[in-house]
Amino acid sequence: MRAKSKNFKTGLIVFACLILISALGWILWTPLEGEKPSINIELPTLSLGNSQKLRVSVSDTHSGVRRIWIGLFKDTQEITLFEKDFPTDSFIRGGKFKQGSFEVLIEPKKLGIKDGNAILRIAVWDFSWRGWFHGNSTYIEKTVGIDTRPPDLDVLSRVHNISQGGANLVIYKLSEPCSDSGVFVGNDFFPGHSGYFRDKNIFMAFFALDYKKGPETEIFIKATDPAGNIARAGFPYYIKRRAFKSDTLNISDGFLKVKMQEFDIDIPPNTQSPLLAKFLKVNREVRADSYKKIKELTLKTKNVLHWNDIFLRLPRSATRAGFADHRKYKYNGNIIDNQVHLGVDLASVFQSPIPAANSGEVVFSDNIGIYGKTVLIDHGFGLFSMYSHLSYIDVKIGQILSKGDIIGRTGTTGLAGGDHLHFSMLIHNTFVNPIEWWDMAWIQNNIATKIKTVTLMNK
């Protein structure tokens, strides 16, 4: 009995010790944890300009964040950019601050830091008892470049005459690679592209003046380097004001009955004149969606100048509507809508074969809203031609075409009242007057001569 009693007491003591050790382990789990705090850095570029925001996120979900320090080391000098100590919750439970983000403004010139390479240093400590109560720590270093000087921007082309709704080309040189550069025409931006000239720092930017913009429009070049430094340069230009024709289109019931069948649009069943209501929705909403789709397609381009010389127009064709014609739509003697025609309508024989106006790559070959069956060709460096209302298409996306290759035949698809080709030219995402591109003298004066001159300058 005594042995059993002794064994029982021993078991109780062991059990009590295990409970005590478990409780003590549970209590000391947080202060003795060994997981290091985490750091995440959000820095758009490793080049720091005059003013750069650094976003740092830190976390320690166990013992909490004790301290964060951020500094910049250059030329034997270390400058503290940011430091913060965080409060404790209790001696056992650690810190109150578990995770969060901080934004640090780095302005090298104000800090007296010169251009060149520097080391960005970030350290974070937690409230763990590890390391003789110093805590776990995480330390990160990143080599960054200090660059507070804007790039040099030299305009190489000299004459830039442009009409409302027209196009032109400017050629310029940058002193360093830039993340973004191009021409601003008012608020419209036309990116510059390198790759044509031997010197990769020489850029070509085709730019356009929207038909709505007049002679007061400001035009300039802007370049931003990886550090965020901005250079701007003006260049000589002349804007010619242009008046656009007004036209009236009579909408008949016969037209509505035939054409509205192509468009799958719901009209409320109690609508008076449902075909007319459908037409107005097509002419406004579907037209706007078509423009949006086309502009999206023309945002990407190849840095290859596929085309050369004059652009072809539909052979033996008559012009039925001009670029930027201001159209009034009349039904039963009343004006029901107003729109602008962003292309040239060319009529020839029924289902006439359509030649590619110039060499390029097919980037779209399908139906698109009011334009029906449409082909879009990228001629390189942001220049596109568009062919619409086709009866059928004979090319595919990605196909490389030569000038004169047949892409399809004219037709009446989309919002076309009769067999014809709607032909458009675009620069980046802006419709321009196709007539200029059918004029060899205009191409020579505004495009070809500039390219040739800069090529000879940089041999």
The DSSP string of 147-181 is --SPPPEEE-----EEETT-EEEEEEEESS--SEE
Closest of 220, 229, 215, 282 to residue 255, by C-alpha: 282
Cβ-based neighbours of 149, under 8 Å, separated by 6 or more: 115, 229
Closest of 410, 450, 425, 444 to residue 236, by C-alpha: 450
Cβ-based neighbours of 195, under 8 Å, separated by 6 or more: 303, 304
Closest of 190, 218, 207 to residue 450, by C-alpha: 207
- State the architecture of 246-428 in CATH terms: Distorted Sandwich (2.70)
For residue 27, pLDDT over 80 is answered with: no
Looking at residue 24, what is its pLDDT?
A: 42
Q: What are the structural domain ranges in the chain?
A: 38-146, 153-242+450-457, 246-428
Looking at residue 23, what is its pLDDT?
A: 44
Residue range 424-441: mean pLDDT, rounded: 97
Looking at residue 29, what is its pLDDT?
A: 44
Banded model confidence at residue 9, pLDDT cuts 50, 70, 90: low
Whole-angstrom Cα distance, residue 298 to residue 430? 9
The C-alpha torsion from 333 through 339 and 345 to 349, rounded to 10°, is -40
Strands (E), 133-271: 137-146, 153-155, 161-163, 167-174, 180-185, 188-191, 202-208, 219-224, 230-233, 238-240, 246-250
For residue 247, pLDDT over 80 is answered with: yes
Q: What are the φ and ψ backbone dihedral angles of 27, each rounded to 5 degrees?
A: -65, -40
Residue range 358-372: mean pLDDT, rounded: 98
Helix and strand numbers (H, E) in the chain are 9, 33
Neighbours of 299 (CB within 10 A): 10
Structure tokens at 68: 């964060």
Looking at residue 22, what is its pLDDT?
A: 47
pTM of the model: 0.84
Q: Does the 153-242+450-457 domain belong in CATH 2.60.120.200? A: no
Banded model confidence at residue 95, pLDDT cuts 50, 70, 90: confident
Q: What are the φ and ψ backbone dihedral angles of 119, each rounded to 5 degrees?
A: -115, 120
Write the pLDDT tens digit of every residue in 164-189.
999 999 999 999 999 899 999 999 99
Whole-angstrom Cα distance, residue 449 to residue 459? 16
Residue range 431-439: mean pLDDT, rounded: 98
Residue 416 contacts residue 263 (beta carbons within 8 Å): no
Whole-angstrom Cα distance, residue 289 to residue 366? 15
- State the architecture of 38-146 in CATH terms: Sandwich (2.60)
Write the pLDDT tens digit of every residue in 187-205.
999 999 999 999 999 999 9
For residue 57, pLDDT over 90 is answered with: yes
Whole-angstrom Cα distance, residue 383 to residue 428? 6
Looking at residue 127, what is its pLDDT?
A: 85
Whole-angstrom Cα distance, residue 81 to residue 83? 7
Kindly state the percentage of the chain with pLDDT values over 70.
91
Whole-angstrom Cα distance, residue 422 to residue 413? 11
Whole-angstrom Cα distance, residue 31 to residue 92? 6
Whole-angstrom Cα distance, residue 76 to residue 29? 41
Structure tokens at 3: 């042995």
Answer whether 38-146 and 153-242+450-457 agree in fold.
Answer: yes
Cβ-based neighbours of 410, under 8 Å, separated by 6 or more: 314, 347, 348, 350, 351, 352, 354, 389, 390, 391, 419, 420, 421
Banded model confidence at residue 10, pLDDT cuts 50, 70, 90: low
Whole-angstrom Cα distance, residue 311 to residue 436? 9
- What's the alpha-carbon Rg for the chain, to the nearest Å? 34
- Mean pLDDT (the chain) is 91
Beta bridge partners of 398: none
Structure tokens at 369: 């809203």
Banded model confidence at residue 62, pLDDT cuts 50, 70, 90: confident
Looking at residue 458, what is its pLDDT?
A: 82
Residue 36 contacts residue 131 (beta carbons within 8 Å): no
Q: If 0-12 CB within 10 Å is exposed, 13-18 middle and 19+ buried, where does residue 444 land?
A: middle
Whole-angstrom Cα distance, residue 253 to residue 418? 15
Amino acid at 113: I
